[in-house]
Amino acid sequence: AEAAAANARRDAAALDWTPAGPVEELPGEERGVGSIYNLEERSCEEVAAMLAMPVNTVKTHLHRARAKLAAELGPTMAKEAAA
């Protein structure tokens, strides 16, 4: 039962990053880094190696992508919580 719950949480997290709406509108590098990190469940070091970029650049792209998504989805999430 615990394994099924963990899988369900992982699947739900992956669905949050599927390319739709605000995620599609992210700049290419931010979308690519975020997709690899979230959907493929890779570490920052693995993403950096895959994309041949420094680890800190990967972290910067993730930070920017998350900030943009939070700004975009913040009002949407507040409306859903109030409903």
DSSP codes, 25-42 = TS-HHHHHHHHHHHHS--
The pLDDT of residue 46 is 96
Residue 22, C-beta contacts closer than 8 angstroms, at least 6 positions apart? 68, 69, 72, 73
Along the 83 residues of the chain, how does pLDDT read in single tens digits? 677 666 555 555 554 555 467 788 888 899 999 989 988 999 999 999 999 999 999 999 999 998 888 888 776 655 555 55
In one letter, which amino acid is 67?
A: A
